[in-house]
Amino acid sequence: MTLRIDITHSLGGFTLDTCFEAGPGVTAIFGRSGAGKTTLINAVAGVIAPDSGRITFGSDTLFDVRTNVPPHKRQMGYVFQDARLFPHMSVAKNLDYAVRFAAQRPQGAQRNDVIELLGLGPLLSRAPHDLSGGEKQRVALGRALLSRPRALLMDEPLAALDAARKDAILPYLERLKSTAPALPILYVSHALDEVARLADNIVVLSQGKVAAQGPIFDVLSDPNAVPLLGVRQAGAVVCATVVDHGTEGLSTLRTSAGTMTLPGVQAAIGSTVRLRILAQDVILSPRKPEGLSTANVLPVTVTTIKTGIGPGAAVGLLAGTDRLLTRIPAPAIKDLNIKPGTSCYALINATSVAPSSIGR
Amino acid sequence: MMTLDAASWDALGLSLLVASTATLCALPLALWVAWLLARGTFKGKALLNAIVHLPLVLPPVVTGYILLIVFGRNGPVGHLLDSVFGITLAFKWTGAVLAAVIMGFPLMVRAMRLAIEAVDPKLEVAARTLGAPPLAVFSTVTLPLILPGVLAGAVMGFAKALGEFGATITFVANIPGQTQTLPSAIYAFLQVPGGEDRAIALVLWACLIAFAAVALSEWLAHRVAQRIQGQTQA
């Protein structure tokens, strides 16, 4: 089932004017604060009515000129940035609340599955005010899932959490993705590391307009999207298979272009992980370098060059079947004589790949 | 010292009857008006707020006189009630109930409005997205959270009804056995020589009832808090 959103809504300084589709899997709505992300997701939930446009889910119209389905009939699960657990109910009662009002009541087994999936068992008898921020968000997610939603809306669910709690909750979201692959999930975020780990598709909002959209691997490795994503945050996502865990805490991973050695990889041998490789951590060399401290050298082909981003240029690279992105100083384009089609080598600084950038 | 004669018992019983009836009648209406004032966005909200608060600032005798003009047997509303429904309010215990409702109303609305304003509307939005229709959201989320405020409002209304004097005596007079409430009985006893003993006995009873009402409300509020906590422990 696909969510189609084509709406306009005037906000303080600009007009939200978006048109995109979100099918099964995670579609990230990415943009800086004030780009209209929350307004957009609120319109999908039915919490606000946009000025005009049309929102449909499959063949079901949620909003248009004549229709405005109220939020309690939309069956859109919503996980808010502030968990919004009911303070007068225990965790178990919060979950049961969703069961009670679900359009199709989940069976007891499904309730147990959600509790199991999110590790809520030990929390059931606790009161919301006794929970940590991360625990609250897990309960809020479980509650939204137990309402048996047709799609899940998540509004910066990790934004209020510190880095450690974020890392603790991200695996649960990855598990949710693999247990419910058919569920469309709209995931609002301004943190590219979360998006890179979770999203299948990305919609980049800028000043209320869709500035870029497409599969996550395409958009994040597109040099033209660098200004939208932020020069420092820009970086491609690469799939890799874990081959071996070494003794020094370094693991060997296989990508389509060759093997890489990285620290802090938690995944089991044989499993596939996503690596987010920041553009600023990739160095280009025309010859195969020898005697360098980094072990990660991949042969690549230059695909796209985008100049005019500050003093640097963004260069798109093809490494095997994966795409990489690098930032080089603008004069280096001439010095190295690179143009689309040039073969060269990408040096990737191994220690700069943070554990939070490695996900399933 | 606390022994009462028949007239005093009548006044005490009538006061309790009037105050309880007034509180029960005013409760749902006060809750609705408190909701409108806390959450509503409509024209004339300021006017509604002013009208609700009017009895708090007007001299009670003025309120009583207005009631007499409007609800008296020849008043526009009183005449209608009398001819259509056969209901008379002026100089009846039911009129004392009406006076108590009107005088206690602003206090009840105030307590409930504060409680409603303290509830985060975001919680109600969350309940809606989980599939709960608006009325269910009110009864399952809003009402449990404002219950202590509703109780506080009810106790305020009851206390005000019990002590109401000016509007009551103006609207329904001071007829022993019919409209003589506890305060008007005390007032009447003090008007006759040697009535102090009877007055003091009633004063002591008034103190006792006031004390019991506060204790009851505290106990109820505690029970509510416990139930809310208890749900989290169950």
Q: Which member of A87, A97, A127 has the closest CB to residue B130?
A: A97
Which residues of chain A neighbour B125 with C-beta distances below 8 Å? 47, 71, 84
pLDDT of amino acid A18: 93
Q: Chain B within 8 Å of A45 (Cβ-Cβ)? A: yes
Q: Note whether B131 contacts A70, CB cutoff 8 Å.
A: no
Is this prediction's pTM over 0.90? Answer: no
Report CB contact under 8 Å: B122, A82: yes
Q: What is the ipTM of this complex?
A: 0.85
B54 Cα distance to chain centroid: 15
A147 CB within 8 Å of a chain B CB = yes
| Chain B interface, Cβ < 8 Å to A | 120, 122-123, 125-134, 136, 140-141, 144-145, 228-229, 231-234
Please tell me which of the candidates B123, B132, B140 has its beta carbon nearest to residue A84. Answer: B123
pLDDT values of chain A reduced to their tens digit, one per residue, 360 residues = 899 999 999 988 889 999 999 999 999 999 988 888 999 999 999 999 999 999 999 999 999 999 999 999 999 999 999 999 999 999 999 999 999 999 888 777 889 999 998 999 999 999 999 999 999 999 999 999 999 999 999 999 998 888 888 888 888 888 888 888 899 999 999 888 889 889 999 999 988 899 999 999 999 999 888 888 888 888 898 888 889 888 787 888 898 888 888 887 778 888 888 888 888 889 888 888 877 766 788 999 999 998 877 778 899 999 989 999 998 888 888 888 888 988 999 988 765 555 545 555
Q: What is the Cα–Cα distance from A180 to A182, expressed in whole angstroms?
A: 6
CB of A82 within 8 Å of a chain B CB? The answer is: yes
pLDDT of residue B227: 66
Q: Kindly indicate the confidence band of residue B114, based on its pLDDT and cuts at 50, 70 and 90.
A: very high
Q: What is the pLDDT of residues B170-196, one digit of tens each?
A: 999 999 989 999 999 999 999 999 889
Query: Is residue B7 classed as helix, strand or coil in its secondary structure?
Result: helix
pLDDT score of B231 = 47
pLDDT tens digits along B138-159: 999 999 999 988 988 999 899 9
Tell me the β-bridge partners of A5. A20, A55
Contact A168, A93 (CB under 8 A): no
Instruction: Please answer yes or no on whether A75 and B131 come within 8 Å at the CB atom.
Output: yes
User: Are A158 and A137 spatial neighbours (Cβ–Cβ below 8 Å)?
Assistant: yes
Candidate from A204-218, B20-34, B44-58, B211-225 with smallest mean pLDDT: B211-225
d(CA A242, CA B51): 73
CB contact under 8 A, A98 and B144: no
Contact B127 A86 (CB under 8 A): yes
